[in-house]
């Protein structure tokens, strides 16, 4: 049964009945920690106060085989907490379709795309440039900020810089996909390109397809 609130119109003395608007259903987003800032910004811009955000460690990107099990564990915890709506803010991210199997098994959706470079660019635009992107090494705002923690040290380049060409010899450029305009991140991204011996290119993407994917959950 619909509920109503009675309110008196001060101009006429008549009572006006207005239908109350039900609160949105509680929703939990299970996300990669590497895109936490961007999701929070989209949630704030759309006043999506009914959404809870849970982030898994961004370093899982260095171990994509672990992502599906970690996401499945978070889905189980959300269900146990009585949360009916769940959205997965991961692309495939190197799981080879296994993350999709987890999502299908639990009846949840994830953001479309093979990886965040694609959905930040816009999946359609990224696919259209597949031939030129194949020799590009990509950074996002997060990776520009955390380049040493997620690239230099895990690959051992701080200890063995001679390995650089073994890892990056097939790339010809570093492409910084900038979500924001930040001079310090620009500087860091360009320094990363020099460190890797690659040409530098900056593309301002904003949040790309992430914005519509999150905003559609209202």
Residue 18 has pLDDT above 70, yes or no: no
Distance (Å, whole) CA 91 – CA 112: 6
- The SS3 assignment for 51 reads strand
- Which H/E stretch holds residue 39? helix 36-45
Residue (of 150, 154, 206) closest to 178 by Cα position: 206
Residue 190, token pair as written in the block: 């360009």
**pTM for this structure?**
0.86
Give 152 or 14, the one with higher predicted confidence: 152
The band of 14, judged by pLDDT with boundaries at 50, 70 and 90, is low
User: 27-59, pLDDT tens digit by residue?
Assistant: 999 999 999 999 999 999 999 999 999 999 999
At 25, is the pLDDT very low, low, confident or very high (cuts 50, 70, 90)?
confident
d(CA 8, CA 15): 4
Is the distance from CB of 178 to CB of 187 less than 8 angstroms? no
Closest CA to 68 of 118, 119, 29, 103: 103
How confident is the model over 169-210, as pLDDT tens digits? 999 999 999 999 999 999 999 999 999 999 999 999 999 999
Return d(Cα 9, Cα 204) in angstroms, integer: 50
Provide, rounded to the nearest whole percent, the portion of the chain with pLDDT above 90.
87
Per-residue pLDDT at 3: 42
**Rounded Cα–Cα distance for residues 180 and 140 (Å):** 10
Q: Are 93 and 64 in contact (CB under 8 A)?
A: yes
Q: What is the pLDDT of residues 102-130, one digit of tens each?
A: 999 999 999 999 999 999 999 999 999 99
pLDDT band with cut points at 50, 70 and 90 for residue 63: very high
Condensed to tens digits (0 to 9), the pLDDT of residues 135-157 reads 999 999 999 999 999 999 999 99
């Amino acid at each position: 049964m619909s509920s109503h609130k009675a309110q008196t119109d001060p101009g006429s003395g008549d009572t006006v009945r207005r239908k109350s608007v039900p609160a949105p259903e509680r929703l939990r987003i299970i996300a990669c920690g590497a895109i936490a800032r961007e999701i929070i910004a989209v949630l704030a811009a759309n006043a999506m106060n009914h959404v809870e955000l849970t982030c898994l460690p961004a370093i899982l990107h260095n171990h994509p085989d672990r992502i599906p099990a970690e996401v499945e564990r978070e889905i189980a915890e959300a269900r146990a907490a009585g949360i009916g709506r769940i959205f997965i803010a991961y692309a495939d991210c190197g799981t080879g379709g296994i993350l999709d199997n987890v999502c299908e098994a639990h009846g949840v959706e994830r953001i479309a795309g093979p990886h965040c470079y694609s959905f930040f660019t816009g999946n359609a635009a990224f696919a259209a440039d597949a031939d030129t992107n194949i020799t590009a090494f990509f950074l996002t705002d997060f990776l520009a900020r955390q380049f040493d923690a997620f690239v230099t040290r895990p690959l051992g380049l701080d200890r063995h810089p001679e390995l650089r060409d073994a890892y990056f010899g097939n790339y010809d450029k570093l492409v910084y996909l900038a979500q924001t305009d930040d001079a310090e991140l620009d500087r860091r991204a360009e320094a990363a390109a020099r460190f890797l011996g690659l040409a530098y290119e900056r593309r301002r993407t904003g949040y790309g397809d992430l914005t519509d994917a999150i905003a559609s959950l209202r």
